[in-house]
Chain A
Amino acid sequence: MSTTHLGMPGLPPPAHPAFPPFPEAAHDAVRDERLRGNLRHATTTIRAKRAHAVAELEDWQRLREAGKRIKDHTLRHLDRYLVQLEEAVTAAGGTVHWALDAAEANRIVTDLVKATGEHEVVKVKSMATQEIGLNEALEAEGIRAYETDLAELIVQLGKDRPSHILVPAIHRNRGEIRDIFRTQMAAWGRPAPDDLSDTPAELAEAARLHLREKFLRAKVGVSGANFMVAETGTLVVVESEGNGRMCLTLPDTLISVVGIEKILPTWRDLEVFLQTLPRSSTAERMNPYTSMWTGTTDGDGPRDFHLVLLDNGRTDTLADDVGRQALRCIRCSACLNVCPVYERAGGHAYGSVYPGPIGAILSPQLRGTHSDIDASLPYASSLCGACYDVCPVAIDIPEVLVHLRERVVQGGEVTREGNKVVLKPAKGHGGERAAMRAARWAFSHPAVLRGGQRLASRTRRLHPRTLPGPGRAWTGTRDLPEAPAEPFRDWWQRTHGGEEDDK
């Protein structure tokens, strides 16, 4: 592998460019017929399969409740379990590093790779390393990171951004994938055959051959983990393809970057999630590959193992008694697949590696609500509740969304970087705030409400069919209802007598 990057394709932009607010990004996505078609097909298929896989288990609701309680218990005693984990990993021959934020985690991993003298790494699919923008950080230091998960490979070759937690290339169809493989693979390694078709078997074979040479050559593997078992210091990765296991077992050095909330106290706890995660994510009873490793073992697997424990906003999130439930998330994607907003807006509109309903509550907590995109995400939901219903750890996503809306419009005390700070109400909500206050006042004075209703009824012939300004948000696509000849309360007074009771 050459260390020069001449002629090598560029990587996607770093993790924190200025993303437009959600409604703006969604505006284009809903008009993209191909994207809509790809997403509709993929999400409705997996939705039905998940429902079937979950319905097979009579004790699903109890498993869900158990998962929730285990996570809540662990989060409440996170300090204790993290220390226990560190001790166990160290005793098993691993090295534990603590990273406060993305920059620190990237620096640790980059230094570790540099110390091996290598200039390339193979990667297991990992959300934590996407979150911190590790590939870009390594690239800046002349280290090339190869994604080996099939869908991540498609995203990387296509110079694209992931749009789904589990299926990051969900926005692509087979034809698009064939085109990406044909035009891009050669620049990264073994090229795709010229006559590559768009059949799944041929696409998978092209990826297999392309990746195989990287697996056999790589000296350093980088992963995340789905779970970390504190009692033994064991890390767990669940996957479908087996590419993860290649990266976890073949290289000499393994570096795992894992969010601190991925910890479980015991193996007994793990049992619950090994049932709920595959059924929720891929609708499988059991995922094909479950890799578990505890430190290092002589003559078997990597000789050096490093665990980088990542905070990056998680402790701040833990400080919020409503928002902390987002940390229960096991990244199954069931909420994305069932979400009508995600299905139409697509994952990119969420401006984060965490899209969909869980992203809408996770990103504004991990990153704060100061950017346009993060202040708009809590509103990227009709609060239909489908996400909460399918969540295998019972995260009440609508509750957290409303809580974060409150944070945006009212401000208040939050924890940022370990310090309590008081946020000001977000700009751009002044008109809304005034309207809400006025409505509250009118609703507190029935006579005022009645006056308004009567006025609306008496002037109903004059009402326009379309509205100017902000009202166009409604009348651009929907007709307005006609005001009735009289409000109900006038009819009631007229027909059921009764004394005028206005206050």
Chain B
Amino acid sequence: MRVALFLTCVNDTLYPDTGRAVVRLLTRLGVEVDFPVDQTCCGQAHYNTGYRHEAEPLARRFSEVFAGYEAIVTPSGSCGAMVRELYPRLGERARAEGRGDTLERVLAPVVPRTYELTEFLVDVLEVTDVGAYYPHTVTYHPTCHGLRSLRLGDRPRRLLRAVRGLDLVELPGAEECCGFGGTFAVKNPDVSAAMGADKVRNAESTGAEVLCAGDNSCLMHIGGTMSRLRTRMRPVHIAEILASTEEDPAA
């Protein structure tokens, strides 16, 4: 199976450790993973801020770059949801604007082949025990688009529960948004910060060392809030936990 890593522009630029973790994890599971270097951004920030027409060329580009792969795996619920849920809508809107079905047809092939990482592991590779070792207390925050758009359900928790040494504790108010929301974080900074502070307080109340999630953009907001509030927890992407082994532990 030809599998492509769609890392996302945020991870590529700011969180390369997450990308390395996905490569290590998938390689360990016997998957040959490629990183098409022409990939850039799925266009989600543009779309969600109201610049749908600016998002269209990025979506077309995505479709071209990933055209030859049977599976496109991304360590981001949010960007995964952009492709799966919103690319079809880009096509529909273009058609409604009298621009025909070209965009719909161009984007259609990548939609069903795009998987969020935990989805790919559980549904396609059919593994929950990925052979990981991570001797820490962890609480898991399900990020909104993974939870409510992709309906990841208990997949991430099943994967985490199978990690040796890992003590998974429930996060109070887990399903409530952390307050990142892309440009929402800077357009409505007071509400965003209040939501972030509540999320961090809830996470702290669990006594866990690590707050785990599947989206680094949310973790950037939560982590930035944690360090500003001088909490001792750290944010870690789920890929880095699942990639960690006794021989090769996470940093």
**A: which residues have CB within 8 A of B?**
22-23, 26-27, 30-31, 36, 321, 340-341, 344-345, 378-386, 388-389, 399, 402, 404-410, 432-433, 436-437, 439-440, 442-444, 446, 449, 452-453, 456, 470, 473-474, 476-481, 483-484, 486-489, 491-493, 496, 498, 500-503
B19 at the interface (CB under 8 A from A): yes
Identify 10 residue pairs between A and B in the complex whose beta-carbon atoms are under 8 Å apart, listed by A's number: A23-B191, A385-B149, A405-B48, A436-B46, A440-B46, A478-B228, A488-B11, A488-B12, A491-B19, A502-B37
CA distance A424 to B115 in the complex (A): 39
Could you tell me if B194 and A383 are in contact, using CB atoms closer than 8 angstroms?
Answer: no
B128 within 8 A of A: no
Which of A382, A405, A432, A501 has the most CB atoms of chain B within a 10 A radius of its CB? Answer: A382
Q: Are A379 and B184 in contact (CB under 8 A)?
A: yes
Do the beta carbons of A405 and B50 come within 8 Å of each other?
A: yes
- Give the interface centre of B38, B187, B191, B224 by most chain A CB atoms within 10 Å: B191
- Chain B count of residues within 8 A CB distance of the other chain: 68
Point out the residue from B15, B52, B176, B188 that lies within 8 Å of A379, measured CB to CB.
B188
Cα distance A443–B58 in the bound complex, in angstroms: 7
Give the contacting residue for A386; candidates B23, B48, B89, B148; CB below 8 A. Answer: B148
Q: Which residues of B contact A385 (CB under 8 A)?
A: 144-145, 148-149
* B184 partner residues in chain A, CB cutoff 8 A: 379, 381-383
Contact of A381 (CB < 8 Å), options: B181, B185, B194:
B181
Chain B residue nearest to A389 in the complex (CB): B148
Q: Report the Cα distance A405→B185, complex, angstroms.
A: 15
| Interface SS majority for chain B | helix
User: Among the listed B149, B181, B227, B228, which residue makes an inter-chain contact with A382, where contact means beta carbons less than 8 Å apart?
Assistant: B181
Instruction: Look across to chain A and name the residue whose beta carbon is closest to the beta carbon of B89.
Output: A399
Residue of B nearest to A476 (CB): B189
Taking a contact as CB atoms under 8 Å apart, the answer to whether A432 and B61 are in contact is no
Q: In the complex the two chains form, is B13's CB within 8 Å of A344's CB? A: no
**9 nearest interchain CB pairs?**
A382-B181, A405-B50, A478-B224, A384-B177, A488-B16, A477-B193, A385-B148, A488-B19, A443-B40
Let me know if A479 and B181 touch, CB within 8 A.
no
Please report the C-alpha to C-alpha distance between residue A442 and residue B189 in the assembled complex, in whole angstroms: 26
Beyond A382-B181, A443-B40, A478-B193, 6 additional pairs, beta carbon < 8 A: A383-B182, A384-B148, A386-B144, A473-B187, A474-B185, A496-B35
**Residues of chain B within 8 A of A473, CB atoms compared:** 185-187, 189
* Residues of B that sit less than 8 Å from A by CB: 7, 9, 11-17, 19-20, 23, 35, 37-41, 43, 45-55, 57-58, 61, 89, 96, 144-145, 148-149, 175-177, 179-197, 220-221, 223-225, 227-228
Contact B37 A492 (CB under 8 A): yes
Determine whether the beta carbon of B50 is less than 8 Å from that of A408: yes
Chain B nearest CB from A475 CB (Å) reads 8
- A477 to B53, alpha carbons, bound, how many Å? 32
B188 is contacted by which of A26, A453, A487, A492 (Cβ under 8 Å)?
A26
Residue numbers in B under 8 Å from A483 (CB-CB): 13-14
> Is B196 a contact partner of A477 (Cβ separation < 8 A)?
yes
Query: Complex Cα distance A386/B92, Å?
Result: 24
Contact indicator A481/B14 (Cβ below 8 Å): yes
Q: Are B194 and A344 in contact (CB under 8 A)?
A: yes
Most chain A CB within a 10 A radius of its CB, from B19, B190, B225, B227: B190
Residues of A within 8 A of B176 (CB): 340, 384, 386
How distant is A409 from chain B, measured CB to nearest CB, in Å? 4
Q: Is the CB of A477 within 8 A of B189?
A: yes
The answer to whether residues A382 and B144 also contact, given A456-B13, A502-B37 and a CB cut-off of 8 A, is yes
Is there contact, CB below 8 Å, between B89 and A479? no
Given A23-B189, A470-B186, A503-B38: A436 in contact with B54 (beta carbons within 8 A)? yes
Q: Is the CB of A383 within 8 A of B144?
A: yes
Chain A contacts of B14 at CB under 8 A?
481, 483-484
Contact: A484 with B15, CB < 8 Å?
yes
CB-defined contacts of A321 to chain B, threshold 8 Å: 96
Given A30-B194, A382-B181, A383-B48, A491:B15 Cβ within 8 A: no
Main SS at interface, chain A: helix
User: Smallest CB–CB gap between A380 and chain B, Å?
Assistant: 6
Q: Are the C-beta atoms of B89 and A449 separated by less than 8 Å?
A: no
Q: By the criterion CB–CB under 8 Å, are B227 and A444 in contact? A: no
Provided the pairs A340-B195, A473-B189, A474-B185 are in contact, do residues A480 and B49 lie with their beta carbons within 8 angstroms? no
- Name the distance in Å between B67's Cβ and chain A's nearest Cβ: 15
Given A409-B50, A446-B38, A449-B40; A489-B12 close (CB under 8 Å): yes
**Distance between Cα atoms of A243 and B182 in the complex (Å):** 45
Of the residues A409, A476, A493, contact of B193 by C-beta under 8 Å: A476
**Minimal beta-carbon separation of B220 from chain A (angstroms):** 5
Nearest CB in chain A: distance from B196 CB, A: 7
Query: How far apart are B57's CB and chain A's nearest CB, in angstroms?
Result: 6
Determine the distance from Cα of A351 to Cα of B12 in the docked complex, in whole angstroms.
41
Q: Which residues of B contact A446 (CB under 8 A)?
A: 37-40
* Complex: A341 Cα to B47 Cα, angstroms: 21
Contacts of B89 in A (CB 8 A): 399
Residues of chain B with a CB closer than 8 A to A36's CB: 194
How far apart are the CA atoms of A298 and B12 in the complex, in Å?
A: 76
- Measured CA separation A386–B179 after assembly (Å): 13
CB-based contact B177/A340 at 8 Å: yes
Q: Closest chain B residue to A379 by CB distance?
A: B187
Q: Given A381-B184, A409-B51, A436-B46, verify A341-B13 contact (CB < 8 Å).
A: no
Q: Which residues of chain B come closer than 8 Å to A474, judged between CB atoms?
A: 185-186, 189, 224
Q: Are the C-beta atoms of A406 and B189 separated by less than 8 Å? A: no
In the assembled complex, how far is the CB of residue B227 from the closest CB belonging to chain A, in whole angstroms?
5
Chain B min CB distance to A464 (Å) = 14
B228: chain A residues at CB < 8 Å are 477-479
Q: Is the CB of A492 within 8 A of B35?
A: yes
CA–CA, A483 and B16, complex, Å: 10
Given contacts A379-B187, A382-B181, A386-B177, contact A481 B193 (CB under 8 A): no
Assess the B37–A498 pair: CB atoms within 8 A: yes
Query: Which residues of A lie under 8 Å from residue B149 when comparing CB positions?
Result: 385
Chain A hits for B35, CB < 8 A: 488-489, 492, 496
B81's closest neighbor in chain A, by CB?
A385
Residues of A within 8 A of B17 (CB): 484
Chain B's closest residue to A498 (CB) is: B37
- By a CB distance below 8 angstroms, the chain B residues around A442 are 40
Q: Is the CB of A439 within 8 A of B45?
A: yes
Residues of B within 8 A of A456 (CB): 13
The one of B16, B61, B179 that contacts A491, using a Cβ cutoff of 8 Å? B16
- Most chain B CB inside 10 Å of its own CB: which residue of A22, A27, A436, A493: A436
